[in-house]
Amino acid sequence: MNRDEGKTFENLFKTHYKELYVHALSFVRDEEEAKDIVTDVYEYVWRHFNRLDSSVPLRPFLYTLVRSRSMDFLRKEKSKEKFLAYKSRFPEEEEEYQDYEEIIEKVMKLIEDLPPQTANVFKKCFIERKKYQEAGDELGISINTIRWHITKAISILREKLSDMEFVMLYAFFLKK
């Protein structure tokens, strides 16, 4: 890059940095990340300055680059959040695995202690993941009867489990 191009780039930076920063901030809502995005855009422009078409206005191009990089950042953040949510569902320490296994055993025992038809309905719908209609057809009962047994099972389990245990039950069995 020659001296004139350097001055042009410096002018471009001084002229548009603040507005590009605000544009990035409107997407990512994080000041440091917005600064990083704008810096990355200017770095890209710096590396490719000689290849840019001088007849095309740079401002819309810069805005497009900032929007694109902001969307990339948001996609990565969403992936991170999904991964962390997934990871948080599975305990990492062996002691936590034991606690988890004990809770599952307790829940399974409580399910077995439910009235027989209620236990069958609960197992079909939440362990075997069958739709109410399928479970009703297999057991020869109506969907309303299925709903009644599910309500009864959840009520009984809610009474016999601690809050944490019930949350685990919900996370692993009830959430479809």
Residues 133, 101, single domain; the answer is: yes
pTM score, two decimals? 0.47
- CATH (domain of 117): 1.10.10.10
Q: Which of 88, 119, 143 is the last residue of a domain?
A: 88
Q: Is the pLDDT of residue 151 over 50?
A: yes
The reported pLDDT for the residue numbered 53 is 77
Residues 50, 125, single domain; the answer is: no
| Assigned token pair, 57 | 């206005």
Which tens digit of pLDDT belongs to each residue from 68-102?
999 989 888 887 777 667 666 665 555 555 666 77
User: Containing domain of residue 25, as a range?
Assistant: 3-88
Rounded to whole angstroms, how far apart are CA atoms 82 and 41? Answer: 27
Residue type, 110: L
Q: Is the pLDDT of residue 167 over 50?
A: yes
- Dihedral of alpha carbons 47, 53, 57, 63, sign: negative
Residues 98, 77, single domain; the answer is: no
Residues 110, 148, single domain; the answer is: yes
The reported pLDDT for the residue numbered 102 is 79
- Dihedral of alpha carbons 151, 155, 161, 165, sign: positive
Residues 110, 169, single domain; the answer is: yes
Rounded to whole angstroms, how far apart are CA atoms 27 and 5? Answer: 31
Secondary structure (DSSP) of 47-108: HTGGGS-TTS-HHHHHHHHHHHHHHHHHHHHHHHHHHHHHHHTS--SHHHHHHHHHHHHHHH
Residues 9, 84, single domain; the answer is: yes
Q: Which of 39, 58, 88 is the last residue of a domain?
A: 88
- Say how many domains are in the chain: 2
Which tens digit of pLDDT belongs to each residue from 16-70?
999 999 999 998 988 999 999 999 999 998 888 878 777 888 889 899 999 999 9
- CATH (domain of 84): 1.10.1740.10
Residues 100, 56, single domain; the answer is: no
In the predicted model, what is the mean pLDDT of the chain? Answer: 83
